[in-house]
Each structure stands twice: as C-alpha cells, then as structure tokens.
Amino acid sequence: MSAPKRVVITGIGAVTPLGIGKEAFWEGLARGKSGVSRIDDVIDLTDIPVKIGAYIREFDPLQFIEKKRARRLGRASQLALAATKLALEDGHLDLTQEDRDRVGVVIGTGIGNIEALTENYDIFLQRGPGRVSPFFVPMFMPNAVAGEISIEWGLRGPNYGTVSACASSNHALGLAADAIRYGYADVMICGGTESVLHPLTFAGFDQMGALSRRNDEPTRASRPFDRDRDGFVVGEGAGILILESFEHARARGAHIYAELASLGMSADAGHITAPDEHGEGAYRAMLMALERAGVRPDEVDYINAHGTATPLGDISETRAIKRLFGAHAYRLAVSSTKSQIGHLLGAAGAAEAIATLMALDRGLLPPTINLDNPDPECDLDYVPHKARPAKVEIALSNSLGFGGHNSAIVLRKI
C-alpha cells in the first residue's frame, strides 16, 4: 500500500448569519460583528421564552438553485448547495476536467431538514396520509444533502452523511480527508449544514435550559467564557470546503489555504448532553489530532474553541486545553466564533474551520465578543472583543457534540 497522501484545502464556501461568501463572513468576524437578532418576526415563538437566533435574512435560494429544484429541497439542503457552488468557484475547480468517479461528498448535519418532517406530519394529521408529499422522505433524511450535491454536479465518488450533533461537520471534514489520504478519491467536497430555526427546536432546547434568554440584548446574548453566560444561541448556515491531495492541487495550480493534517475523535460515554466535567473526551480528541498530525502541543498557535456559552461546556473545554497544553495553554490564543454567529449545530464545525482557515490565511485572529466579565475558571487568552493580528502556522478547531461526541481537526499552513 502506498504512503498516505497529504490533504489540502483549496476552496471555501460560506453561507452564514454574518453574510454569504467567505469575504462577507470574514469581514463580519474581523469587525467583531454579531449575527444574532430577534427572529420572532419570521418564526412563531409564541409561548416560548426565547425570541432570538442567528438567521440568514438575505439568503435567496433562487440565486443559486433553479426554482423547481429549490422547491423540492429543505432549507439545510439549499444552504449546502449554495455553499458548494461558492466553494467550487472559490477553488476554481472545473469539474468537467475531473474524473468524477474520483470526486466525492461528505456532509455533516445534526438534524437535517426538520421542516419536511413537521410540515408533513401536520398534513398527515389534518388531511390524511394520501396528502403527504412524495418528496418528504428524500427531503428529510440526513444523508439527503450529500446525495443532492452529488446529483447536482454528477459526482460518483465516496458519498455519505455524518450525523453526530455538533461534531457532525468536523467528522465530515476529517473523514473526507481520509478518503483522499488513503486513495478512495482525489477531490472531496465536504462540510456541514443546518437550519432548524423552528418552534419545536426552540421549545426543546429551551426546556433543557440550553438557550440564552437575553431577548432584550440579542447581539450580546452569545457570550462564551463570560461569567454571565446563560446558554447558546441557535443559528443556521452552511460551510463547504474543497479538499484535494497535495499533488492534485499542485498539478492544477490551485491556491492552497492550508493542509488538513488530521482528525481526532473520542466519546465521553457519560451523559447524553452534559460534557465530562474535566473535559476528558475533549482532551483525548485534541491529543489524538495532534499525534496523528505529528504536532507537538507547544507548536499550536491558535484554537478555535467549541465555546458554546453554556455554563458547563466552557469550563470543561478550558480544563481540557489546560491539561493538554500545560503552560503553553496560556501562550496560545483561543476564541469562539459562536460569540458572533451563534451555534450552527451540525454546521458549526465547518463554519469554524473556515474561520480558522481564514485566520491562517490572513494573519488575523477572530475575536470572542461579549467577553465582558471573564469567568474565573476560564482564564485563557480568548482574544476578547477585537480581532488581533498574529502569525498562525498551526491551529486546532474543536467541535464537541450532544451524545458525548468529541472531535478536533488540525489545520497547518503550507
């Protein structure tokens, strides 16, 4: 068997609450902008205490997808197809020149197109089974997004979805990289998508006590590592990356953002929603990622943290970082993109990987906004309030999901 191939990132597609396209997303991050607002004008949140979210108001699927096809796709799928189109354009990847048997797709989502389920269940109850849409199952199944992307561009390589809550798209990125690394494909389109801004979702998360209720200050609601944090903010979006073997990218003269060096994975095997108190699972995922990449802890410059702004989660992740990095934990920078875009659930890892890539590419660390009163137990450098110039060569991006799913990827500048 030949030696594993190096895997690089050559295209970025972002559809986020800060804007559509990588530049709009990055500009919002660099300015410390918040994409959170009251959304009860577009979603019926009557009798639900939470009225805020990170909604992409300017997204029009018809700018990216033909009208008839768009009607047969759920919003998460629409977001992903739009982000894929942007990624292909950004990477200048002409698929007509590729062997499409060697181009694959892996897309993560935590829940998928939930509106297909709720709308068709209402129809079932009110009008009977004969009125349920024949498109219901293909719209709702979580693997539909990967399938729709392969159909749109005729891609016949490895194709599947990853479903591991908030770790879904980190898993997608890492496993897609392995498909190239071990010879299953030359090019992989991968990332994550999510759109669950639905009353049922808000009711469920709020009943768990997971959401911020800071309705009167939406832009200040998501406050990772802050003493006054009171939960996460639900967001929506999609992040898609084009991965290639280093040789393939170099042969076509592609711009290389960075190397996707490794994925680390673990399980807490403890509680279905609460993280391990001491961050054991996050520690092991980060350690595995560094070992697989051949990177020492003291070589890491930046961590894009999971940083959800939940009371337990932020402390647990901070403890994991301090355990793994020791004294170096106080020298590296850590920040949370969720302070600006909320929690994109299954798409969070992909959006945050893009933020990390742009940090490597532009030499600027995205901030953690709203960090006004740091929690004494969260005592690292979280890049508070403002973006900061910095030379970043090696970075980690963490995603830690309900179910005890932990993942970390290593991104390395070439």
Q: Is 306 annotated as catalytic?
A: yes
Of 169, 191, 303, the residue nearest 243 (C-alpha) = 191
d(CA 181, CA 261): 10
Integer Rg of the chain from CA: 20
d(CA 91, CA 84): 10
d(CA 125, CA 262): 47
Pick the catalytic residue: 166, 171, 198, 378? 166
Pick the catalytic residue: 171, 198, 248, 306? 306
d(CA 177, CA 289): 13
**Integer angstrom CA distances of residue 371 from 27, 225, 228, 254, 314:** 20, 7, 9, 38, 12
Give yes or no for a contact between 244 and 180, defined as CB atoms under 8 angstroms apart: yes
**Integer angstrom CA distances of residue 129 from 73, 121, 132, 168, 307:** 21, 9, 5, 32, 43
Which residues have C-beta within 8 Å of that of residue 60, sequence separation ≥ 6?
Answer: none
d(CA 409, CA 286): 8
Classify the phi-psi angles of 345: left when phi > 0, otherwise alpha if psi is within -120 to 50, otherwise beta: left
* DSSP reduced 3-state for 142: coil
Pick the catalytic residue: 198, 248, 343, 405? 343
List the catalytic residues. Answer: 166, 306, 343
